[in-house]
C-alpha cells in the first residue's frame, strides 16, 4: 500500500456506477485518471446473464490494469422488491416474504442461491441483507425489505441470509446502521431524523446489528439519518464519528468494512453536498464511499478528498486505514473464478427459490375458494406497480398482475389505476356487475386509498372478494367486511405465480405473517 499515490489510495475508496450496458468513455476515464477501484451495478446495467458476465470481466480487467488491485463489484440483490440480477438468473423472494415462511433455513438458502448466481456472473459484493426493523408502518423505503417488526425475527432471518451469502463466497453488507426502520422519510428523497437515545436504540434497532457483528459480519452500510440525541453536530450517521467510530467500532466491537449508502442520495447531496459528504464520511470512520451515478460528482469528491489530505484537514492515517481495510476484503473476495452455472445447477436454484416463494404466501381472514379453470363468474382486477421511492424503478410496466393471473386461470381481467378516483370506481363497479367473484391485486393500498375504497364497494355490492396484498401487508389490516385476504408481499413474477397456484387450488397457503398482529 505504501507504493500507492494519494490518488490511487482515494480511488480504492470509491464505488462508481456506470450509465449503460457496457464500459463507456467516462467510466474508462474515471478508472484510468481517477483510479476508481470499485463498481456498483443497477438495473440499467443489466440485460441478461451473458451481458453481465462480459461487463464484469471487462471491469475487472480494466480496474486491475489501472489500479493494480481487483475490483469489488457490488449490487443491491436483496430479493423480492429489490433485485438487480437479470431475469434469466434466479432472483429470490424478499425479506418479509421469507420470514413469513416460518423457516429461517429459507433465508440461508436464499443467501446461498444468490451467492451462486452472483459469482457465476463475476459479482462479488452484495449490499444485503437488510437488518432494519420495520417498526414504523408508514416507512416508505424499508417496509417489506425488512424481515419483520421485532428484533428477534430480523436477527434470526437476517443472520441466516448473511451466513448464506458469506459461505457462498460473496461479501455481504448488513444495512442500514444504526437502523432505518423507524422513519417516515425516504433518505433517497429527504433527510430522516430519529430522535431516540442510545439506550432506546440499544433496546431495539441495534440488536440485529450487534448479533451480526458477534457472528462475523464483514461489511456494514451506514444510514443517512439524523440521530440528534446521539450526534449533536447536525450530521447524519454516515458523517458522524460519534456513531461510526465511537458507537459502532469502539462500543459494539465492529472490525469489518464500513461502507456508505450512496452519497448522491438527497439526504447527503441536498443538505451537505456529495464531495463534503465524502470527506465527512471518511472523517467519521467510513472506509468505502458509494457515488453511484454522476461521474462529475466522483471527480469532485476525489479532488476534495485530495485537498483535505494535503491541507491536513483529513489525516492521511485515516485514508491509509480505510485503504488497508478495502484491500483486505479485495484479497478475500475480489477474484471470482467461478464459471457459469450449469443448466442443472440453475434449475436447482430456480426450484428452491420457487418453493420458498410458495411457502411465503399467507391466508389472512375470509374463506378462500379455489377458482375453477375458465370460470365465467370470476374477474381479476388490479394496477401496475408504482413506487414513490428510488430504491427501485418508479413504475413497472413489464409485469401485470391482472393479465398474468387472468390468462393463467383462463378468466376475465381488468386493469385499474393505482389510485382510482370516484369516476373510475363507478366505471369498475359497472364493468364487474356480472361477476360474482372478484380478485383484487392491491399494491400499497394503504398509501393509495382508492384501492381500499374499491374493495369495500365491491364487497358491499355483494361480490365475493379476494384481496391480494402485492406490496405492504398493512393493506389487509384496513379492509372491512368478509373479504378473503392473501399476502404475497411483492409484485414479482415468482410471487404472482405462487398466488396463481393458490387461487387455482393446486396448493394451500402455509405462510404465517412475521409481523405482530
Which residues are annotated as catalytic?
188, 261
Neighbours of 351 (CB within 10 A): 11
Say if CB 75 and CB 119 are below 8 A apart.
no
CA-closest candidate to residue 320, choices 332, 335, 305: 305
Neighbours of 204 (CB within 10 A): 18
* Dihedral sign, Cα of residue 333, residue 338, residue 340, residue 346: negative
User: What's the alpha-carbon Rg for the chain, to the nearest Å?
Assistant: 23
- What DSSP designation does 262 have? P
Query: For the sheet containing 412-415, what is the strand order?
Result: 362-364, 484-487, 464-469, 437-442, 378-382, 412-415
d(Cα 257, Cα 236) in Å, to the nearest integer? 19
Cis peptide before 129 (omega within 30 of 0): yes
Neighbours of 293 (CB within 10 A): 18
Instruction: Work out the angle at residue 184's Cα, subtended by the Cα atoms of residues 181 and 189, and round it to the nearest 5 degrees.
Output: 105
At 467 the three-state DSSP class reads: strand
Beta strands in 306-377 (DSSP E): 362-364
Q: How far is CA 457 from CA 91, 382, 401, 452, in A?
A: 36, 15, 21, 9
**Cα distance between the two ends of the chain:** 54
Amino acid at each position: 500500500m505504501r507504493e500507492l499515490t494519494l490518488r490511487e489510495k482515494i480511488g480504492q475508496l470509491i464505488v462508481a456506477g456506470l450509465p449503460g450496458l457496457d464500459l463507456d468513455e467516462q467510466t474508462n476515464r474515471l478508472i484510468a485518471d481517477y483510479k476508481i477501484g470499485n463498481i456498483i451495478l443497477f438495473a440499467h446495467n443489466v440485460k441478461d446473464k451473458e451481458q453481465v458476465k462480459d461487463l464484469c470481466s471487462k471491469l475487472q480487467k480494466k480496474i486491475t490494469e489501472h489500479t493494480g488491485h481487483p475490483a469489488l463489484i457490488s449490487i443491491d440483490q436483496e430479493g423480492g422488491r429489490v433485485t438487480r440480477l437479470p431475469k434469466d438468473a434466479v432472483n429470490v423472494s424478499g425479506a418479509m416474504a421469507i420470514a413469513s415462511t416460518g423457516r429461517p433455513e429459507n433465508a440461508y438458502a436464499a443467501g446461498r442461491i444468490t451467492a451462486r448466481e452472483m459469482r457465476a456472473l463475476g459479482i462479488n459484493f452484495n449490499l444485503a441483507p437488510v437488518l432494519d426493523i420495520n417498526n414504523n408502518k408508514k416507512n416508505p423505503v424499508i417496509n417489506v425489505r425488512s424481515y419483520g417488526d421485532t428484533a428477534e425475527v430480523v436477527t434470526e432471518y437476517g443472520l441466516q441470509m448473511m451466513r448464506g451469502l458469506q459461505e457462498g463466497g460473496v461479501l455481504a453488507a448488513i444495512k442500514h446502521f444504526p437502523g432505518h426502520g423507524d422513519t417516515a422519510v425516504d433518505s433517497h428523497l429527504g433527510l430522516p431524523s430519529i430522535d431516540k437515545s442510545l439506550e432506546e436504540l440499544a433496546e431495539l434497532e441495534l440488536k440485529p446489528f450487534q448479533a451480526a457483528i458477534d457472528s462475523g459480519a464483514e461489511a456494514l452500510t451506514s444510514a443517512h439519518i439524523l440521530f440528534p440525541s446521539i450526534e449533536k453536530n447536525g450530521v447524519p450517521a454516515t458523517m458522524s464519528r460519534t456513531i461510526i467510530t465511537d458507537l459502532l467500532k469502539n462500543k459494539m466491537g465492529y472490525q469489518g468494512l464500513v461502507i456508505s449508502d450512496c452519497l448522491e442520495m438527497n439526504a447527503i447531496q441536498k443538505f451537505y453536498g456529495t464531495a463534503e459528504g465524502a470527506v465527512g464520511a471518511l472523517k467519521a470512520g467510513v472506509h468505502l464511499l458509494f457515488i453511484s451515478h454522476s461521474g462529475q460528482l466522483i471527480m469532485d469528491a476525489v479532488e476534495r478528498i485530495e485537498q483535505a489530505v494535503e491541507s491536513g484537514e483529513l489525516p492521511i492515517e485515516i485514508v491509509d486505514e480505510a485503504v488497508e481495510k478495502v484491500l483486505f476484503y479485495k484479497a478475500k473476495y475480489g477474484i471470482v473464478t467461478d464459471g457459469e452455472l450449469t443448466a442443472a445447477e440453475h434449475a436447482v436454484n430456480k426450484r428452491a427459490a420457487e418453493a420458498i416463494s410458495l411457502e411465503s404466501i399467507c391466508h389472512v381472514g375470509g374463506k378462500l375458494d379455489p377458482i375453477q379453470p375458465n370460470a365465467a363468474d370470476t374477474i381479476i382486477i388490479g394496477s401496475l406497480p408504482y413506487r414513490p421511492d428510488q430504491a427501485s424503478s418508479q413504475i413497472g410496466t413489464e409485469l401485470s398482475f391482472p393479465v398474468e393471473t387472468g390468462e393463467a386461470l383462463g378468466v376475465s381481467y381488468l386493469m385499474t389505476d393505482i389510485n382510482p378516483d370516484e369516476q373510475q370506481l363507478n366505471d369498475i363497479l359497472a364493468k364487474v356487475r356480472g361477476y360474482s367473484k372478484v380478485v383484487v391485486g392491491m399494491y400499497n393500498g394503504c398509501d393509495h386509498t382508492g384501492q381500499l375504497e374499491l374493495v369495500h364497494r365491491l364487497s358491499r355490492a355483494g361480490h365475493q372478494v379476494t384481496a391480494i396484498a402485492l406490496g405492504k401487508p398493512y393493506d389487509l389490516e384496513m379492509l372491512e367486511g368478509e373479504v378473503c385476504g392473501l399476502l404475497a408481499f411483492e409484485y414479482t413474477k415468482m410471487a404472482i405465480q405462487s398466488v396463481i397456484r393458490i387461487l387455482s387450488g393446486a396448493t394451500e397457503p402455509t405462510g404465517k405473517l412475521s409481523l405482530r398482529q
